[in-house]
Amino acid sequence: DADVTQTPRNRITKTGKRIMLECSQTKGHDRMYWYRQDPGLGLRLIYYSFDVKDINKGEISDGYSVSRQAQAKFSLSLESAIPNQTALYFCATSGRRGNTGELFFGEGSRLTVL
Amino acid sequence: GIQVEQSPPDLILQEGANSTLRCNFSDSVNNLQWFHQNPWGQLINLFYIPSGTKQNGRLSATTVATERYSLLYISSSQTTDSGVYFCAVKETSGSRLTFGEGTQLTVNP
């Protein structure tokens, strides 16, 4: 089983719908992240959390919100999805407090907004 | 913020060839990782290498932090090496990784 699990893996929805992407991890890491990847581009950070009560905006947080329900769970919500949020979304974790830590990714959630 | 440039943007090889991918960054870093994104979209950790040299089978990587670059070497390439290779760095004064735009590698049989 994957150490970092994302659900759903694929989702097609309509403009204006609320969407939640969920991430859970069994690595025991304290830090969790949500990234977005657009076709032909690198990854951009949406939100990150260093602990259960810690939430930080990344580069492209507008239109998104997150919830860190437990150390092992970090969900990403699109309150009112729009077509330009069509992308591949990745959850990631890292385990080191302080400034270093190897990043591990989930398998990705492909979202299409019509 | 830190700038990360990867080169070349695209690379086409015949199976069995060797290649070198480069990652330049604009500031001091204390975290550098190489990832392979396979054609199915999965991101696979290759190396965690903020400095020094590491090898894993046909792949090796070297980071010269003082000169702000890292190199990924692929020897005897195979078609399964195809995909996008990303470099990601975290500047010493920062708190998260910044990704380069990747090198698209195609290995033909």
Contacts of A110 in chain B (CB under 8 A): 41
With 0-12 CB in 10 A as exposed, 13-18 as middle and 19+ as buried, what is A104?
buried
Q: What is the pLDDT of residue A96?
A: 62
Q: What is the pLDDT of residue A100?
A: 53
With 0-12 CB in 10 A as exposed, 13-18 as middle and 19+ as buried, what is A69?
exposed
Q: Is A10 on the interface with B (CB under 8 A)?
A: no
Q: What is the pLDDT of residue A99?
A: 45
Contact B102, B6 (CB under 8 A): yes
Q: Is A55 on the interface with B (CB under 8 A)?
A: no
Find the chain B residues whose C-beta atoms sit closer than 8 A to any C-beta of A: 30-31, 33, 35, 41-43, 45, 48, 50, 86, 88, 90, 92, 94-97, 99-102
Q: Is A18 on the interface with B (CB under 8 A)?
A: no
Rounded to whole angstroms, how far apart are CA atoms B102 and B86?
A: 4
Flag residues of chain B having pLDDT under 50: none
Rounded to whole angstroms, how far apart are CA atoms A111 and B17?
A: 36
Q: How far is B95 from chain A (nearest CA, A)?
A: 6
Rounded to whole angstroms, how far apart are CA atoms B45 and B43?
A: 7
Task: Walk across the sheet containing A73-78 and list its strands.
Answer: A4-7, A19-25, A73-78, A65-70
pLDDT tens track, chain A, 114 positions? 669 999 999 999 999 999 999 999 998 899 999 999 998 778 999 999 999 989 999 999 999 999 998 999 999 999 999 999 999 999 999 976 544 578 999 999 999 999
Q: Smallest Cα–Cα separation from B71: which of B44, B43, B51, B90?
A: B51
Q: What is the pLDDT of residue B47?
A: 96
